[in-house]
Amino acid sequence: MTDYSQKYQMTPVVGWLLKDRGGMILLTILIAAAILVPIGNLLVPETSSFHVPTWMLSLLGKYLCYALLALSVDLIWGFCGILSLGHGAFFALGGYAMGMYLMRQIGDRGVYGNPELPDFMVFLNWTELPWYWYGFDMFWFAIVMAMFVPGLLAFVFGFLAFRSRVTGVYLSIITQAMTYALLLAFFRNDMGFGGNNGLTDFKDLLGYSLQSDGTRAGLFVASCVFLGICYIVARGITQSRLGKVLIAIRDAESRVRFTGYRVEYYKLFVFTISAVMAGIAGALYVPQVGIINPGEFAPALSIEIVIWVAVGGRGTLYGAVLGAFIVNYAKTFFTGVMPDFWLFFLGGLFIAVTLLLPKGVIGAVPAFGAPDRQSILSSMRKRLSAGGKA
C-alpha cells in the first residue's frame, strides 16, 4: 500500500471535517452555544444585559430541533433527490415515543391520580394499559423507540416505494398521503395516544422537573450535541463513496443502475437514516415544548420543512440548519407582530428564494456559493484583475 492511501486511512474523519468550512463554522457555533447559552441563563444574574432569559433558551432549543429535522430532509433531498413531503411524520413519531415516556413519568400526579394509566385513558374508561405502552416507563426504551419506530416505518415504506421505482413527484405525493393517514389515525381516541389532545401535562424527565431552568438548559445542550453528531454523521455519509453514489442517483439514476448499483438499497439506506434523525429531533422537541398532538402530522408542516431547506440552501447540510433558523425566527416574529401575514410572507419567501437565490441563502455567500475551491479561486482572480484594470 502506498503512502497516499495510508495517509487517508489514518485520518479519514478529521481530514474531511477540517476541509468542510461551513461545517466547522456550524460545529464551532454549536459548541459555543452549548456552553455560553446555559451559563447566560443559569449563572449570569437577571439584571445583567448578558442574561439569557428562559423563554429564549427554550425557543433556541426548539429551533435546534427544527434544524435537525431540516438536516434530515436535506440529506435525502439535497443529496439523493428524494423529495419527502412527509418527513413531519417521522418527527412526530419520535415525539410521541418521548411523549409516552413523559406520560408514564407523571405517575399518580395526574388529575385522576391513577398510578398506572395516563389521564386520557381513565377518562375513556380504560382499565389497563394497552400492550404498546409497555416499556415506555423506561427512558432508554423510549429513546430506542423514538429512533426505531420512525426508522422501521421509513424502511418498510421505502422498501415498497423504491423497489417499485416510485420517484419524483409521485413519491412526494405518497409521502404526503402517508403523513395524512397517520394524522387521521392519531386523531382517533381508540388509537390510545390521546386523540385530538395528544399527550401533555408532562411533569418531569428522569426525575428532573421540566419546569426548572436547569432541565431546560440540559435539553438545550442535548439538542446542540445531537445536532452536531447528526451533522457529522450526515457529512460522513455524503463524503464517502456511498455519498457520491447518492449524488449520482440524484443526477442520473438509470446510469447508476447500468453501472451495477442497486439504486433501491442506496435510497432505502439514506431514507431510513434520515427518518431516524427526524425521530431524534422529535424526541428532543417534545420535552421542550411540553406537548405532542396529531397536528404535528399535518401535511402542511412537512411542506414547510422543505421550504426551510430551500431557503437555507439545498445540498449543503449547514444551509438546511441556517434555513430552519431563518424561517422559524421569521415565523416567531411575524406570528407575534402580525399573525395574519405569516403565510403570505412564507409563500413570498419561497417564491423569492426560488427565483432570486436558487442555491438558497448559503448560495448567496460567495465563499459557499461556488461548488469547489478551483472555481472560487478563478472567480476571485477574475475579480482582482478586473479591479486592477479599473
Partner 1 sequence: MSEAMDIKPDAQVKSARAETILYVDGVSVTFDGFRALNNLSFYVEPGELRAIIGPNGAGKTTMMDIITGKTRPDTGDVLFKSETDLTKLDEADIANLGIGRKFQKPTVFESHTVFDNLLLACSGGRGVFKALFHRLSSAEKIKIEKTLITIMLDEKRDELAANLSHGQKQWLEIGMLLMQEPELLLVDEPVAGMTDSETEETAKLLRTIAKEYSVVVVEHDMEFVRDLDCKVTVLHEGSVLAEGRLDHVQKDPRVIEVYLGR
Choosing from 241, 388, 389, 390, the residue that interacts with partner 1 (CB under 8 A) is: 241
Q: Are 267 and 82 in contact (CB under 8 A)?
A: yes
* Closer of 9 and 47 to partner 1 (Cβ): 9
Q: Applying CB under 8 A, what is the total number of residues that bind partner 1?
A: 34
**Angle at CA 206, nearest 5°, toward 202 and 207?**
75
Q: Which stretch binds partner 1 (CB under 8 A): 191-199, 321-329, 344-352, 369-377?
A: 369-377
Near partner 1 in 78-137, by CB under 8 A: none
In the DSSP assignment, the letter for residue 124 is T
Judge contact between 63 and 56, C-beta under 8 A.
no
In angstroms, the CA 59 to CA 68 distance is: 14
Q: Which is nearer to partner 1, 190 or 372 (CB)?
A: 372
Closer residue to partner 1 (CB): 253 or 296? 253
Question: At 220, which amino acid appears?
Answer: F
Task: Single out the residue of 329, 371, 384, 385 in contact with partner 1 (rule: CB under 8 A).
Answer: 371
How far apart are the C-alpha atoms of 307 and 297, rounded to whole Å?
17
Burial 52-77, CB ≥16 within 10 A → b, else e: beeeebbbbbbbbbbbbbbbbbbbbb
Residue 357's nearest CA partner among 324, 308, 312 is 312
Quote the least distance from Cβ 4 to partner 1, whole Å: 7
Residue among 48 and 240 whose Cβ is closer to partner 1: 240
Between 12 and 53, CB nearer to partner 1: 12
CB of 313 to partner 1, least distance (A): 15
Q: Which of 227, 237, 283, 346 binds partner 1 (CB under 8 A)?
A: 237
Least CB distance from residue 269 to partner 1, whole Å? 5
Query: What is the SS3 assignment for 234?
Result: helix
Question: In angstroms, what CA-CA distances link 266 with 97, 248, 252?
Answer: 27, 11, 14
Long-range contacts of 108-111 (CB under 8 A, 24+ apart): 109/203, 110/201
Q: Report the residue number, 101 or 266, with the smaller CB distance to partner 1.
A: 266
Instruction: Tell me which residue of 227, 195, 248, 234 sits closest to 80, measured CA to CA.
Output: 248
Q: Which is nearer to partner 1, 201 or 264 (CB)?
A: 264
Of 151 and 287, CB closest to partner 1: 151
Distance of closest approach, residue 181 Cβ to partner 1, in angstroms? 28
Closest CB 145 distance from partner 1, rounded Å: 25
Closer residue to partner 1, CB minimum distance, 250 or 331: 250
Query: Residue 123's CB: how many other CB atoms inside 10 A?
Result: 14
| String of contacts with partner 1 for each residue 244-273, x by CB under 8 A | xx-xx-xxx-xxxxxxxxxx-xx--x----
Residues 1-60 that bind partner 1 (CB under 8 A): 1-2, 4-5, 8-9, 12
Contact 362, 322 (CB under 8 A): yes
Place of cell 431552568: 213
Number of H helices and E strands in the chain, helices first, is 18, 4
Least distance between partner 1 and beta carbon 276 (Å):
15
> Shortest Cβ distance from residue 161 to partner 1 (Å)?
17
Cα dist from 20 to 17, 213, 231, 239, whole Å: 5, 35, 11, 10
Task: Work out how close the CB of 234 gets to partner 1 at its nearest, in angstroms, rounded to a whole number.
Answer: 12
Q: How far is the CB of 81 from partner 1 (least distance, A)?
A: 11
3-state class of 209 per DSSP? Answer: strand
| Of 208 and 265, CB closest to partner 1 | 265
- Could you tell me the smallest distance in angstroms from the CB atom of residue 258 to partner 1? 5
- Of 54, 58, 99, the C-alpha closest to 223 is 58
Give the orientation angle of helix 263-289 with respect to helix 139-163, to 10 degrees: 140
The answer to the question of residue 379 lying near partner 1 (CB under 8 A) is no
- Residues of this chain that bind partner 1 (CB under 8 A): 1-2, 4-5, 8-9, 12, 237, 240-242, 244-245, 247-248, 250-252, 254-263, 265-266, 269, 371-372, 374
